[in-house]
Amino acid sequence: MFSDAKKTTLPLEETSSARPPFRFWMTGCMAVVMSAFAGATLARVESRGLMTSHSSRYSVAETVLRIEASAQRHGLQMFALVDQGSAKDASGSTHWKVVVFASSAGGTPVFMDRAGGQHAVPMSLVVRANGQGGADVLVGSVASDAALAELPTHVQRDLAELPNLVADALR
């Protein structure tokens, strides 16, 4: 049996950031969230979307503690902390953590841009050692307004609050 169908893989930059996600759901399932970061390298996490970098004068561990305290002040809870301390990334940093937040209503949003695509967890950030005793905090963004429109209003507010939460933690 022959088929004229061709399997096409679009490079990341060719996928339209204006279209809504292929799939979106809220989850409280740790396995789903962990699968998004299984075998992750920092380069792969960074390549998932636009990331804003914030410098912290504190160590990775202290920065994570400050972010957790700030999250609580902003009405969010830490859902998961994925320690990637032994995974070496392209920049040579061997100490980084992924912090995943639960929305104020519980659970955390997960996106997929296509069937079989990587999971994206927009309510997460990366804290990595910067080689000077401090840390860098990388905050991702939802790729498009269309993706944001798919989210419940309270989750949109929670996502919008992430930059303020980080700024508060790093003071």
Tell me: pLDDT of 139 over 80.
yes
Instruction: For residue 96, give the 3-state DSSP assignment.
Output: strand
Tell me: pLDDT of 84 over 80.
no
The pTM score is 0.73
Least confident of 46-50, 116-120, 121-125, 163-167: 46-50
Instruction: Compute CA distances 81 → 15, 64, 165, whole Å.
Output: 29, 9, 16
Q: Say if CB 130 and CB 136 are below 8 A apart.
A: yes
**Check whether domain 24-169 has CATH 3.30.310, yes or no:** yes
Instruction: For residue 24, give the 3-state DSSP assignment.
Output: strand
- 3-state helix, strand, coil split of the chain in percent (to 5) is 30, 25, 45
Place of tokens 């504190």: 58
From the list 111, 108, 99, 100, the residue with the least C-alpha distance to 155 is: 108
